[in-house]
Structure 1
Amino acid sequence: MTIKLISIIGTPSVGKSALAAEIYSYTARLGMNSHLVTEFAKDWAMRKIAISPINQLAVVGQQSHFVTALFKNNYSLAISDTSLLLAAFYANYYSNNSFPNLVSAVQEWEFYLMKNYKVKQYSFFILLTKEEYQNRYKADGRYETFEQCFTMQDKLETWLHEHGNIITIKASECNPEHILKLSDIKL
C-alpha cells in the first residue's frame, strides 16, 4: 500500500496551516485514515522565540520525527502545513547558505520514507498575487513583515523548484478537492 504525504508550502501567512487543516478535516469527514502534522516552528513563532539558523536543524529533526511516527502507526495519509525542504530553505536563507548539506539530508530522508514506508510525497507551493497576500497577511506570530514575506515568495518558489518536486498552486486552487485530485487520491 502506498502512503501519501501532502505538504503545503509557502512563505509566512499565505494560508498553509488553514489549507492543511481544511484538507485534513475534509478527509476525516470522508472516513480516510489521515492525520494532520502541524509546523513545529510555528509554536516558537507564536511565543516570539527567535529561531536562529542553527535552530532550523532542530526544526528539521522534530518535523521529520512527527511525520515518520505517523507512518509507523499505519496512517495512510498525512497532511502537513510545512515540509523539511522549507526548513532547509529557511536555514540557508537566514544564514547565508551555512548549511548546504541540509538539502541533501532532507532529500535522503524523503528517499528513506519512500523506500521504507512506500511514501509518495506531494508538495504544493502556494503562490499569491500581492493583493491576495495583503488580504491574508497577519503580523501576529510572524518574524517577517509583509514586504519581507512577499519579496521572499519568488526566491522560495525558485529555490523549491531547484531542490524538489513542487507543484505551484494559485489562491483559486487552494481547496481540498483540488489538492486531493492532484495527489492522485480518489474521492
Structure 2
Amino acid sequence: IQKRIEELENKKKELKDVEIRIKQKEEKIREYSILSEAFTSIPVSIQNRLKPRIALETSYLVDEMTEGKYSEIELDDDYGILVGYDNELYPVSRFSGGERDLINLSLRIAISRVLVSLSSEHGFSHVQSLFLDEVFSSLDSERRQSLLKALYKLQNHFKQILIITHVEDIKTSVPYAINIEELDGYSVVKSV
C-alpha cells in the first residue's frame, strides 16, 4: 500500500507540473495572440492613414494623363479603385482595358510617390526616377501608344523614366533607348 501511495504522490506531483506547464503555455499563447493582433493592426492603421493621400495622388496623375477626362479616384476599404465620371463613382472594371491599365499604373506610381514623400519627410533622399518593367507587354499597339503618351506627361514629376521592355515599337518611340543583348556569355549594351 505504501508503494501505491508513493506512486500516487508522484503522479499527483507530475500532474501539478503538467498543469503548471499548461498554464505557462496558455499565458504564452495569450501573449502571442495580443502581439499578433497588434502587429496585424499596425499595417491597417498605416494603410488607413495613407489611403486619402494615395487616392489624391492617383486622382492627380489620372487627371493629368487623361487630360481631365477622369479627375476623381477613390479607394474602397480593400483598395478597390472607384473612378469618378459624370458625377458618379464607378468600379474600375467598368472602363476599357486601356483606361484600366492607365488607372492601375497611376495607382502604382501614386503609392510609390506617397512612400517616397514619407521617406523624404523623415530625412531620406528624394527619389527622382521611375522604373517601369514590362508595362506594355499585354497591350495592343494603340493602347501602348496611348500609355506612352500618358507617361510623357509624367516627365515633370521625374528626372528619369526608365522603361524595361521587349516591345520593339516602344524602343523606337522614346527619345533614348538602349538594347542589351547577350553575346558570348557577356552582356553587350548598344544605343538604339
TM-score, normalized by length of structure 2? 0.32
Question: Which structure ranks higher in relative contact order (CA pairs < 8 Å, sequence separation ≥ 6)?
Answer: 1
TM-score, normalized by length of structure 1? 0.33
Larger Rg: 2
